[in-house]
Amino acid sequence: MNIESITVCEDTTSDFKPINITNTFYPEQSGSVQVLVQLSEIHTTTDVNFQWYISDEPEVPLATYTFSLERKSKKTRYAVGALDLRALLQLKEFNIFQKWFTIIEVEDSKRRVDFFLKKMGYGPSTLSNNFVNVPRINLKG
C-alpha cells in the first residue's frame, strides 16, 4: 500500500472531500487542522500512524496516534488525522503559533507535510485607508 496524496485542510466531508484547503491556520478562527490521506488498495489490515511536531522541537512529537484500517475491496481508502486548535489555545507550556509538521507512516511509506499556526491580526482594517474617519456635526442656522 502507498500514500497516494495528502491534503491539509480545515475540515473534511463524510465522503472524504477536503473543506478549505490551506497550509495556514488561525486557531482563534479555525476549529482544527485536518490531514486527509488518500491510500492505495489495502491488502491486509494496516496501521496508519500520525506524528505531530512543532518546528521548535523537531525531535520529539507532541502527539502520536495510530489506528488500523481493515482490508476492504475498495481500491481507494482514506485516513484523516486531526489537530484540535481550540484545545491548543488553552496550552501555556509552549508557543503554538509557529511552523508545525506531521509525519504520516503507512507500512513502508513515510511522508511529511508542513503547515503554520498564526495569530489573528486585530489591527486596523485595510478598508479604513479608503475612508476619512472624521466625526461630522450638522449645525442648523
- Note the pTM of the prediction, 2 decimals: 0.81
Residue 3 confidence (pLDDT) above 60:
yes
pLDDT of residue 115: 98
Extended beta strands in the chain, E state: 3-12, 18-21, 24-25, 32-39, 46-54, 63-69, 77-84, 99-106, 109-117
Q: Residues 116, 23: contact at Cβ < 8 Å? A: yes
Residues facing residue 60 across a β-bridge: none
pLDDT digits (tens, 9 = 90+) for 49-83: 999 999 988 999 999 999 998 887 777 889 999 99
What are the structural domains of the chain? 3-130 (2.60.40.2550)
Residue type at 103 in one-letter notation: I
DSSP state of 55: T
**What is the per-residue pLDDT across 18-46, written as a single tens digit (0 to 9) for each?**
999 999 999 999 999 999 999 987 888 89
pLDDT of amino acid 121: 79
